Structure 1
């Protein structure tokens, strides 16, 4: 598991501490804790530490990323969907601590309602 945070104005240490605590509570092994300091509107491709997260997932060094909320990866919904598709193609998953789990249909944009 990789922990990731993106903060525009505040220190990510508190967020990473919370993510680490939740991961350890669930028995997950944390391999890396990474963060970017940039505006949330910055695309994931422009975030060096997010690119490292994707590299770890691509190479199989981790299978899951834990993030506070999806907007910390990509702010716009269409870009969030792109990230989800990319993770799925890698056989990787993302968990968002402060957001309810969505159905597969909603994640892939094919669900009703």
Structure 2
């Protein structure tokens, strides 16, 4: 299958896939097998699963957050936070950080 044809094939059958999803075929593997039999799709499962997750599963939800003075809509991403740990940091531990210590009181 040429590059991009799987996406075209998936979105061409999107209405059918939504109907089947609403009927209860919420597991991507089972929906893929059903679409392969009924609609004769030719894409591989990994491509199907990629587009299935984009359309049906990984939606960013908008949550209404109320604050003290105003109300606003904020996007809440349900994915884990990726943190990069840098071991080459040149910061030195400062024991006095965040403490009210007078220089005169130190020995």
Structures share fold, TM-score greater than 0.5? no
Higher RCO structure, 1 or 2 (CA under 8 Å, sep 6+): 1
The normalised TM-score by structure 2 is 0.29
Bigger radius of gyration? 2
